[in-house]
Structure formats: structure tokens, C-alpha cells
Structure 1
Amino acid sequence: MPRMICRIRHRAGEPLGLAIYPAATLMTLPREVREMIYEPLLIDSSPITVYSEPPYAPDDDEKARIHSRSSKFPHLALSLFRVNRIIAIESASLFYHHNTFKFGGRHQPTLSYINVHPKNTDYWDALYSFLYCIGPRNRARLRYIEADISRPLPVTKDTDGTVSSLVTDSWMRKVHARDQHKRIYPPVHDGPYSSLVFDDVSPAIDAVFRILGHHGFKLQLGLIMEFGIWPRLYSEEYLSGWSEEVPDHVEAMRKRFTRLPNREGERVEVLWKGGGNKSRFIWSSARLVKDGWEIVGVQDIFGPPTELDSRINWRTSVSFTLRRKGISSL
């Protein structure tokens, strides 16, 4: 039974009386007012890191920092999800609609394109797990996701379709998921790799775009590349970086699974974000445009974020955003 409130009622020309009525509760307020209450409790101005795995073996202090409660987001009142069904739906709708969800954030920038850690830090599998767990209602509310994506792992494809790669510092080979997709591009790698080596295409890419689908709000998926590494990185003397194998596959899956029912574009927009030496980027930008990339924005970096490597010369570095243009063959 709701709590009752008793107030003295006084009207001109009438004797004093008592008015008894139920006390106001959160559920008696209009939904617009309730959402104004939820906003400061559930919306973060910074991206919310859902999953992050360091691309190196952390020491004990680093493990404690990564897994400590303070590294989560205690300032958000996620306990609202457990109050009752109505408040859970309303608060979850606001939480997933207005926040940016981050996967990764542990890229280690470097000045040298050779000094790349061999551990692959793509987060396609973690992203799919998150999308699967939050359910279709919350997936439809998502608008902003960011995920780290590393330079693709070089793999070989045998005549029977088996895809494998050499294990670092070992003679053994790791077998990957069977590749069902036709290879379009030759490999683009530093060093004397075999002509049979290709950029690995994760099968989780298909799963991510399939589960996102075409129902829901427009969603921006930002793929954060390692510092100094981007597709078809050109300089005066060599060609390195990625091929367009992974970007074209991402674009194909985006068009295939997220195209709106009215055929007016796709629900998901993919932006490729990165950074690197200014002169190297300027040198390769013309070829990027020629090879089907749109340069959305370029900005000088004037100071290093605290988590980035102090060896980088920020006065000559830029951050940039790319969009893969549609290709008729996709």
C-alpha cells in the first residue's frame, strides 16, 4: 500500500479540513521527468570501456589496476536496471542510446612501423558477445561504438581452404576458421613474405554486422587503428601497412546486413580512425583517395594523451578519420 500524505486544507469561507492522498513516487512522475532524473546517473561524457585486453603481458601492478573495481565506472547508477521492470527498460534505453561503448583502448603507439607487437588485438569477438548479451531491444538503441582493430595477422590459405598462421617464436602453426571468402587483393606486408600470405579476415566480422541488422537507430562504428599503421601506407621507398582485404569485407558485410528496408542507405556507418607521422600520411593520402578511401577529417596533434608513448613527436603527427567508399563489386 502506498504511503499516504495528510495536508491541511484551507479555503476562503470554508472550515479547516484535512486532505489525504497518496505520496508522489518516481513512477507517478511523467516519463520525460523520470528520464531527466536518469540522465546524470547513466550517461558518461567519456566512452565506456566494455572490454579491454592489454596487447602485452602485464606485471602484477598492471593486473591489479586493470581488474580493480576503481577501473570500472562506479559513478554510473547501473543498479537502476534491477529496481523494477519499467525502470529497467527506461534506464537501459537511455544508457544504451546516449553512451559510447569502447572495446580496447590498449593500442601501443610507436614511431617505427617495424616495431609492431605480434599480438592481434582485434575485438570483433568481444563486440559480438556484447551485442548478443544486451538483447535486440538494447541493440536497436545503440548509436556509438568504438573498437580497436590491429593490422591484420598474415595467414596462408592451403589448396583445401585451410587457413593457418605461424605462431610467434615457434615452428608451429595455428589453424584459423575456414575461409569462405574469395581473396581480392595481394598481400601488402613489410618483408619477404610468400605470395600465398594474405591478411586474415575474422569470421566474427560477419557475425557483428548480422546481429546489428537494419532495425534501430543509426549507429556509428569507429574502428581505431594502431598509431602509424593504416591500409596501404605509402612512403617514398616502400609500400607497407594493410591491403584493403579487411576494409572491403567490413564494407560488404555492412551493406549486406544493415541496409535499411527503404533502401535509403545502411543503419551502420563505419569510420576508420588513426594517427601517424604527418609527412607519411600526406604522402599516402593521394593514393588512399585513388584506392577508394574518403578522408573525412585530418587534425594536427598538439599534445600526447597521457596513455600514449612519449617517444612520438606530436608536433609532426596527425589524427585522421577515413571512410571506405562503396565499391560496385561488393
Structure 2
Amino acid sequence: MKLGNVLITGCAGDIAISILRILREVAPLSRIFGSDIHDDHPGQLLYDKCLVLPKASDSDYFRKIAEVVETYAVNVIIPTSESEIYEFDALRCSGSEFAFLFSQQYILMANSKSIEIGKDKLKTARYLQSQGLPFPWSVPVSEGSPREIPCILKKACSQGSKHIYQINHLSDVAFFGEKHQDWIWQELLGPNNQEYTCGLFSSKSGEVRQIVLRRKLVGGLTGSAQVIVDTSISDLLVELAKSLQLSGSINVQLRLTERGPVIFEVNPRFSSTVRFRHLLGFCDVVWSLQDKFGYTIDPYTPPEENTRMYKVAEELLLTN
């Protein structure tokens, strides 16, 4: 695939490095640049060049991005951190002098509606309810006590399975509630061994593709996963994609409960399992690029049920 030069932001993160490995395979002639807010990471061993940029919230962020685009003739930008995705989405809808990035470069991210609904977990639950889709009850801590205990306490806006506590006792409500007024109480969905991470892709023409993995978390990230085929989950994912008018790729977290599958998070970005999925044939990074460039999207053959995969660490050494 001919992409030209590519910039991957948040380049020290696991999602960025997974995407880099994919691009090295499918676009070997492309120069791939990485950017992050610091240089204390192994990126210089992996990317053609690594750059230090301000945080996405910095007023100078897009000016620096524009300088990188001009200096290195960048044709494709892939933001991987949610904070940068949110800023790029706001830019897309603004009259900023840097909005030209969307007309002159290919920026790989989902459509605005998916991002807007997914970036706030309370908004996600309320949206699911409004669309007649299964949802977990969710209450802002600032509005009072949870509906029942045990339950979950989580940040309304956070990345990955972080900042989550299980509340088992009434005494915990007062203790944690006082400290986290801007968080939410949310229904504890069970059982624990029925949690699934789902890749969901839809092209501009509306072709929906999906993959469902039962995962085991290690340190808040997927350590291992197993391919699952379940029509109740698949049907729900298609409904969600159509409701969001999805264009691009997102990641959906759900649990299979007594009342069926219930979505509790919609992550409007590529998943930390993006490399897992690519090896299984769910090539959402490649499909997203093909769709952006106007190419015919490669066919998809879903992987065999019960295929297992494991994530292992890799050591890299950098000497002076």
C-alpha cells in the first residue's frame, strides 16, 4: 500500500507501537514518524524519527503538528491517545487556521458522533438507553448514592480499564464519593468471566465488520484473549454501528449478563489489541486506510471460534 509519510502520535504507547508494526508490514516503503510529549521511550529504535511535541491541550499543539507535516511531508496522521483524538475532532469542526489538516492530510480516526458518545462513560450509558439498547445504570456521584451495592465507581472520562473501583460496602460510598464528585457510580455487570472486547469497523459505504474476544486483563490491559462467536453480541454490535453512523474503527467493551450482552464502554479509537486482531484477519487499520484513500477494502474472513492469543513483553536495549 502506498501511503507516503506517516505520523503516529502518542508513539510510546502500546497502541501506537502495534500500529507501527502493522504499517511496517503493509507499507514497507513509507517513512513512519512518531511523536510524544517526552523522549524517554524506545521509539527511536522503532520509528524512522521520533519528535517531542506539546500535550494536546497546549495552545501550541496544532502549530507544532503543522510544522511537522510541512517539514517531513506527512501525508497520513494517526492519533492514538484519546486526548489527541478529542482535540483533532474538535479541530475538524472548528474554523481554526489549522483545520486545513483535514483537507490536505488523511487523519485516521472515527466519525465525530462515535467520538462524542464514546469519550464520556455517562453519556455512553445515556445514549444506549435513548436508542433502546442494553445499558448499565449510571449515576453521577455528585447526584447522590448508587442505586445498589455492589457497584462500580469509575471516572466518567478515562482511557482503558483504569480508575475503576468495586464498591462492596455502604461505608465505601461515603469514603470514595467525597473524594470523587466528578466520577460516576455504575452497575456491576456480571459474571466477571464474561467480559468481551469487540473490534467494530464500518466503511463509509456502511459495511460493518466485527470481531469478539473474551479477554483476561493484566494490569488494566488485555493479556490474553479468545475468539468468540455469539449472535446476540454480533447483532448488538451491528445495531450500535448503525446507530452511531460509524465510519472508521472503534472498540466496544461489554459483558454477557443474564439479560444478554450489555455494553459499558465505547472507546472511540483503535484498541490495544489491534495487533492481535490484525493477525487474526481483522485488519481495521488497513481497512481504515483503504477507505480513506478510496481503495477497495480487502475482504474479511472471520477467524475460527476459540482461537487463542497471548501478549508477551519484549525487551529492547538502547546504548550510547
Same fold (TM over 0.5): no
Compute the TM-score of the two structures, normalised by the length of structure 1: 0.28
Larger Rg: 1
* TM-score normalised by length of structure 2: 0.29
Q: Which has the higher contact order (CA 8 A, sep 6+)?
A: 2
